[in-house]
Amino acid sequence: MKEINDLNALNEVIRSGVTVLKFGADWCKDCRAIDPFMPEVAENYKDQLTLVSVDSEKAPDLVTKYTIMGIPSFIAIKDGQEIARFVNGSAKSRQEIEDFLDKSVAIANELS
């Protein structure tokens, strides 16, 4: 899973198709809990979307742009426009993340 912490690099990625941004940070216990399985999740969804990681500490401009208030947070973008968001104060399970990705793909397909 590619890490992007720069607005210009992110704009290149989100220009077309479906991209899901995973906001997190090294100090975040809940982020570290999901990190071990996220590469496999990204691989499983690679034909449907691009999953990228954003370090909230290294990319404050992206945190501001997407109004990230807590981490880990997930934002689905299709062709540059936000289509779904998975943000809450709870730890996230692999199943919840995969459910969000499935929902994001379904929404993107409806918009096509």
Q: Closest by alpha carbon to 82, among 107, 55, 59?
A: 107
Q: In the chain, what is the straight-line distance between the N-terminal and C-terminal CA atoms, in Å?
A: 25
Which residue out of 28, 34, 62, 63 is catalytically annotated?
Answer: 28
* Number of neighbouring beta carbons within 10 Å of residue 65: 11
Which residue out of 4, 14, 18, 31 is catalytically annotated?
Answer: 31
28 is catalytic: yes
Structure tokens at 74: 């997930």
φ/ψ of 111, rounded to 5, equals -80, -15
30 is catalytic: no
Q: Which residues are catalytic?
A: 28, 31
